[in-house]
Amino acid sequence: MSLKIAVLGAGNMGSALIGGILKGGVTEARRLIATARTAERAHEVEEKFGIRATAGGNREAAAFADVIVLAVKPTTLPKVLGEIREGLRADQILLSLAASVPISLIEKLAGEGLAVFRAMPNIPVVVEEGATAIAANRRCGAEQKRIVEDIFRAVGVAVFVEEHLMDAVTALSGSGPAYIYMVIEAMIAGGLKMGLSREISTRLAEQTVLGAAKLVRETGLHPAILRDQVITPGGVTISAIHELERHGLRSMLISAIETATKHSESRSRALVESIEAAESGAGQ
Ligand SMILES: NC(=O)c1ccc[n+]([C@@H]2O[C@H](COP(=O)([O-])OP(=O)(O)OC[C@H]3O[C@@H](n4cnc5c(N)ncnc54)[C@H](OP(=O)(O)O)[C@@H]3O)[C@@H](O)[C@H]2O)c1
């Protein structure tokens, strides 16, 4: 277990990854280093995880590591890459979590010839049930892919995708927890309307979503088959399903993911344009 990891930007996502990396035994605390913008945050991270964390210090942290996790906000990424660029080595892995920032832009800002991964995790990484999609550039070999997969498997499920599908991933699993929270919220409201207490409605709704998802995973059956197994002719479930179909539940979710994918694509284009404009302005 000799992997050295630097997490540049130990905020929500960065610290969730740090927690998973330590818990999952991907590496040990003394081989993990983190940075933040403020000394307060760095101190918090040191206290919470027992690792070294500094305010700034990105260059030193990057020089120390085999894997450099870029967990700052997309708009801060150019600044951080500018700081570490000179010291980067061909044997290091750059792993960006920045939403909407394509690998080609990272290569432009960090220099060519590096193994660059772009990942889109989602917020349940905090409870080690994240869904992460990973794209890689041509420099990434099988061993490097295994290392990056191990990092995300420590906080949930990880899959590899072609980079052009990252906007669809953002729309499905990146934003997806928000859709499911709405479903849970509405189920709780339904229970309340029908006289169940808030506490009981909440417990039943959250567990129903968790259990249904687990059954999809563990049986490997198509959700439509599992749904049919709950239906009895003339019964309660089919009367509710008829209502859901009438209001277009499935069609609504498909449209939501289509719209969010297009929004993610246009946000990515706008972000690239503004970063490139700022970089060319700075270079003049
Ligand atoms: N949250 C999500 O659900 C999610 C999902 C997918 C992808 N992502 C991506 O993950 C990245 C981080 O998101 P987040 O939600 O974790 O944001 P966040 O909580 O704001 O974390 C960003 C961290 O970066 C630190 N930082 C700012 N400037 C820095 C600098 N110059 N050097 C070192 N550290 C610096 C901040 O430090 P201070 O705390 O001291 O200000 C903060 O801790 C983003 O690129 C986002 O697109 C997030």
Tell me the residue type at 1: M
Tell me how far CA of residue 60 lies from CA of 41, 57, 96, 114, 133, in angstroms. Answer: 18, 6, 18, 18, 29
The label of the residue with tokens 């892995």 reads 93
Compute the average pLDDT of residues 207-233.
Answer: 98
Residue in this structure with the two tokens 């906000």, named with its chain if needed: 73
Residue 280 has pLDDT above 90, yes or no: no
| Atom 45, ligand 1: residue with shortest CA distance | 98
Please list, residue by residue across 134-167, b when 16 or more beta carbons sit within 10 angstroms of its beta carbon and e when fewer do: bbbbebbeeebbebbbbbbbbbbebeeeebeebb
Which residue, among 112, 127, 34, has the nearest Cα to 72 in the 3D structure? 34
Mean predicted confidence (pLDDT) in 253-282: 93
Instruction: Name the DSSP class of 146.
Output: H
The alpha carbon of 131 and the centre of ligand 1 are apart by a number of angstroms equal to 18
pLDDT of residue 1: 56
Q: Which of the listed residues 18, 33, 37, 100 should we mutate to test ligand 1's pocket, taking the one with most ligand atoms within 8 A of CB?
A: 37
- Mean of per-residue pLDDT scores for the chain: 96
| Residues in the ligand 1 pocket, defined by CB under 6 Å | 8-14, 35-38, 41, 56, 58, 71-74, 76, 79-80, 97-99, 120-123, 174
Across the range 201-220, mean pLDDT stands at: 98
Q: What's the mean pLDDT in 148-156?
A: 95
Query: What confidence score (pLDDT) does residue 283 get?
Result: 63
Q: What is the mean pLDDT of residues 272-282?
A: 86
231-237-240-244 Cα dihedral, nearest 10 degrees: -40
Q: Considering just the CA atoms, what is the radius of gyration of the chain in Å? A: 22
pLDDT of residue 281: 79
Which residue has the least CA distance to atom 48 on ligand 1? 13
* Type of residue found at 228: D
Q: What is the pLDDT of residue 2?
A: 80
Ligand 1 centre to CA of 25 (Å) is 23
Q: What is the mean pLDDT of residues 63-67?
A: 97
Question: CA 9, CA 242: separation in Å to the nearest integer?
Answer: 48
Residue 156 backbone class (left: φ over 0; alpha: ψ -120 to 50; beta: rest): left
Give me ligand 1 centre to Cα 77, in Å: 10
Element (H, E) at 117: strand 115-120
**pLDDT of the residue at 14:** 96
Identify the CA nearest to 26 among candidates 100, 107, 95. 95
Taking the model in full, what pTM does it have?
0.94
* Identity of residue 160: F
pLDDT score recorded for residue 284: 62
User: 113 is written with which tokens?
Assistant: 């010839």
pLDDT tens sequence across 92-144: 999 999 999 999 999 999 998 999 999 999 999 999 999 999 999 999 999 99
Residue 112: its pLDDT value, please? 87
Which pLDDT band, with edges at 50, 70 and 90, does 151 fall under?
Answer: very high
């990434």: which residue's tokens?
A: 140
Average pLDDT over residues 180-200: 98
